[in-house]
Amino acid sequence: MCGIVGYIGNREAYPIIIKGLQRLEYRGYDSAGVALLNGEMNVYKKQGKVADLHNFAKNENLKAHVGIGHTRWATHGAPSDENAHPHMSNNGRLVMIHNGIIENYAALKTDLKKKGYTFQSETDTEVFINFIEDIYQNTKVDLPEAVRLALTKVVGAYAIAIIDVNQPGQLIAARKGSPLVIGIGKGEYFLASDATPIVEYTSEVVYLDDEEIAVMGKDGLSIKNLEEVTTKPYIQTLDMELEAIEKGGYDHFMLKEIFEQPKSIGDCLRGRLNAAEGRLHLGGISDYVNKVMHADRILIIACGTSWHAGLVAEYIFEDFCRIPVEVEYASEFRYRNPIVGEKDVVIAISQSGETADTLAAIELAKSKGATILGVCNVVGSSIPRTTHAGSYTHAGPEIGVASTKAFTAQISVLTMMALMIAQKKGTMAESAFRKILFELEAVPDKVAKCLDLNAQIEIIAEQFKDATNFLYLGRGFNFPVALEGALKLKEISYIHAEGYPAAEMKHGPIALIDENMPVVFIATRDSSYEKIVSNIQEVKARKGKVIAIVTEGDKHIVEMADHIIEVPHASEAIMPLISVVPLQLLSYHIAVMRDCNVDQPRNLAKSVTVE
């Protein structure tokens, strides 16, 4: 949550910062602001989106070669111009942007007030920058050292960037718990919450580690940690194309990302799986296969859509590997007193690799001796760097706040993990193993066939766009798909939607059904097909409107349902990768028809770095 961008070098800083903020807007869009240093410090900030900031600032003096910018997801203080970042210290010298939360800000604020400090905003960040100013003024140290001393005293999470009006040749950054990447150009430096604002200018990056402070400027880049140990910057090459972060002719990132799925799933499988040769190898976890095979239990930890991918994985791992699996909301797990031990393997799933609750849950499980594997999309993010091992999903940047291609890539990786373990453990017959390999390889083409249904789904969406409630029902492997379909709809269209196991309907939701209630059934041909057919009849008997996702050629449900969406046949373990696609399209079209901001739904953010 919150995106930060910074630049120091010979180019004009403003265009780099504003474009960077637009790329990071998925992280929050309550307000935006920039600070530009050119002899004097100019700060422009505005409630609303980055485009509002640009309209507000575009006629001002924007010339500068040093600057920082911020797009905010409000935590302390409502979205407003005053609470927008950057924040300036009382003497007007220091300006800061911050992604994260300072937990002891109230105590620091009380102390600073006693010393005569005043505050224009309700934010923890304004307290933070004044705390640094106070140390800077009262000690004889330089600014990087004052920042370091301050950081040893603050409690919480931060990715920060600071500029000092008296030192225009220096940009300071630090992080703990929130992400920060530094881009290295020729005599210039970029910084951002992720690499998307940087990729256009350089592919050389350094991912700052927790508790590291970086100083960038005419003297180059130097990095120290809070213990004053200097570290040599580890420069990595970005593996990201500029097209991957642009809309490429689509109206929305979400639609582009839905349509990218044949490719993103293909990219995820590439080099790892060869069905003809019966070969499957996930290099990232190969050293841990034995550990998982002998695990007492697999604990899956995630949030949001990633949690739904975890539920699909529960069915797959238990079926293929015969290992008990528990799927946990990271936010609940971390605040219980969970029973975890050395014989447990934790799989943490996260698109962003930055979700605060998931990170904290990992730390907790790690402290209890569990082995932690990660399934993440963003390369170099915090979760892959804290886990023992893991596999990237390689879905490419996902920018729409509602997750789509990351979900199918997560399930693809998790299925491969389960297959690798099942083969080694001998819990799956070779023929079944080979069959699933072929099926996985065929998923990109089957997903492409689902995308051909786009126009048909748009027509269905038209009929239900004004509904106030939706019910999504599925059984077995398709139950988590029902949850995911409901989540997609509520996230972007603001229609209340509930996902339920179809058989549980009679224990409550059936009371909601009348002629105004659309019920989406994920009723593809699988072992619970007959049962779900009965559930559809139960809904029809109460005059509910049934939209059914069925397997091509279905003869029964077609007679009962009001609308049918036919998807290609697949084994039940593979079906979630296919059956979810029409649901993504349905929610997309309904949201567009309701004039909702599909890519940036209200109140949400893509990367949830607060608990």
Residues belonging to the active site: 2, 606
Q: Answer yes or no whether residue 608 interacts with ligand G6P by CB under 6 A.
A: yes
37, 66 Cβ separation under 8 angstroms: yes
542, 513 Cβ separation under 8 angstroms: yes
Q: Is 209 helix (H, G, I), strand (E, B) or coil?
A: coil
Question: Pick from 347, 318, 321: which is nearest to 410 by CA?
Answer: 347
Q: Answer yes or no whether residue 130 interacts with ligand G6P by CB under 6 A.
A: no
Q: How far is the CB of 603 from ligand G6P (least distance, A)?
A: 10
Residue type, 224: K
Size of the site for ligand G6P (CB under 6 A): 15
Question: Nearer to ligand G6P by C-beta: 305 or 415?
Answer: 305
Q: How far apart are CA 333 and CA 310, in angstroms?
A: 14
Distance of CA 522 to the CA centre of its chain: 26
Q: Answer yes or no whether residue 587 interacts with ligand G6P by CB under 6 A.
A: no
Q: How far is the CB of 349 from ligand G6P (least distance, A)?
A: 7
DSSP state of 175: E
Residues whose CB is less than 8 angstroms from the CB of residue 541 and which lie 6 or more positions away in sequence, other chains included = none
Among 403, 415, 478, 524, binds ligand G6P (CB under 6 A): 403
Question: Nearer to ligand G6P by C-beta: 415 or 609?
Answer: 609
Question: Nearer to ligand G6P by C-beta: 154 or 401?
Answer: 401
Among 358, 393, 493, 579, binds ligand G6P (CB under 6 A): 358
Question: Nearer to ligand G6P by C-beta: 88 or 303?
Answer: 303
Instruction: Identify which range of 234-242, 293-301, 399-407, 417-425 contacts ligand G6P by CB under 6 A.
Output: 399-407
Among 16, 161, 303, 340, binds ligand G6P (CB under 6 A): 303
Question: Nearer to ligand G6P by C-beta: 412 or 524?
Answer: 412
Instruction: Identify which range of 184-192, 311-319, 453-461, 601-609 contacts ligand G6P by CB under 6 A.
Output: 601-609
Q: How far is the CB of 250 from ligand G6P (least distance, A)?
A: 18
Phi–psi pair at 315, nearest 5 degrees? -60, -40
Could you tell me the strand order of the sheet in which 344-350 lies?
325-329, 297-302, 344-350, 371-376, 389-392
Among 351, 408, 412, 587, binds ligand G6P (CB under 6 A): 351
257, 365 Cβ separation under 8 angstroms: no
Q: How far is the CB of 259 from ligand G6P (least distance, A)?
A: 18
**Tokens describing residue 280:** 């499957």
Q: Is 365 helix (H, G, I), strand (E, B) or coil?
A: helix
30, 121 Cβ separation under 8 angstroms: no
Question: Nearer to ligand G6P by C-beta: 303 or 345?
Answer: 303
Instruction: Identify which range of 58-66, 233-241, 339-347, 401-409 contacts ligand G6P by CB under 6 A.
Output: 401-409
Question: Nearer to ligand G6P by C-beta: 43 or 401?
Answer: 401
Residue type, 506: K
Question: Pick from 255, 134, 157, 144: which is nearest to 611 by CA?
Answer: 157
Among 22, 71, 355, 371, binds ligand G6P (CB under 6 A): 355
Q: How far is the CB of 200 from ligand G6P (least distance, A)?
A: 23
Question: Nearer to ligand G6P by C-beta: 184 or 598?
Answer: 598
Among 306, 423, 600, 609, binds ligand G6P (CB under 6 A): 306
Among 352, 382, 412, 524, binds ligand G6P (CB under 6 A): 352
Q: How far is the CB of 404 from ligand G6P (least distance, A)?
A: 9
Between vectors from CA 398 to CA 181 and to CA 471, what angle results, nearest 5°? 140
**How far lies 554's CA from each of 332, 559, 565, 595, in Å?**
41, 10, 10, 34
Residue type, 478: N
Neighbouring-strand partners of residue 348: 301, 374
The answer to whether the Cα torsion of 339, 341, 346, 348 is positive or negative is: positive
Instruction: Identify which range of 223-231, 273-281, 302-310, 315-323 contacts ligand G6P by CB under 6 A.
Output: 302-310
Q: Answer yes or no whether residue 304 interacts with ligand G6P by CB under 6 A.
A: yes
Provide, for the chain, the percentages of residues in helix, strand and coil under a 3-state DSSP scheme, each rounded to the nearest 5.
40, 25, 35
Question: Pick from 125, 148, 126, 122: which is nearest to 135 by CA?
Answer: 148
Cβ-proximal residue to ligand G6P, closest one? 304
Q: How far apart are CA 178 and CA 426, in angstroms?
A: 41
Q: How far is the CB of 274 from ligand G6P (least distance, A)?
A: 29
Residue type, 385: R
Instruction: Identify which range of 214-222, 300-308, 421-429, 566-574 contacts ligand G6P by CB under 6 A.
Output: 300-308
DSSP assignments along 457-523, one per residue: HHHHHHHHTT-SEEEEEE-GGGHHHHHHHHHHHHHHH--EEEEEEGGGGGGTGGGG-STT-EEEEE-
List binders of ligand G6P among 519-538 (CB under 6 A). Answer: none
108, 134 Cβ separation under 8 angstroms: no
Q: How far apart are CA 577 and CA 524, in angstroms?
A: 12
Instruction: Identify which range of 106-114, 346-354, 478-486, 550-558 contacts ligand G6P by CB under 6 A.
Output: 346-354
Among 57, 172, 401, 548, binds ligand G6P (CB under 6 A): 401
Among 226, 512, 533, 604, binds ligand G6P (CB under 6 A): 604
Question: Nearer to ligand G6P by C-beta: 545 or 606?
Answer: 606
Q: Answer yes or no whether residue 193 interacts with ligand G6P by CB under 6 A.
A: no
Q: How far apart are CA 316 and CA 109, in angstroms?
A: 51
Question: Nearer to ligand G6P by C-beta: 305 or 535?
Answer: 305
Q: How far is the CB of 393 from ligand G6P (least distance, A)?
A: 10
Binding site for ligand G6P (CB under 6 A): 303-306, 350-352, 355, 358, 401-403, 604, 606, 608
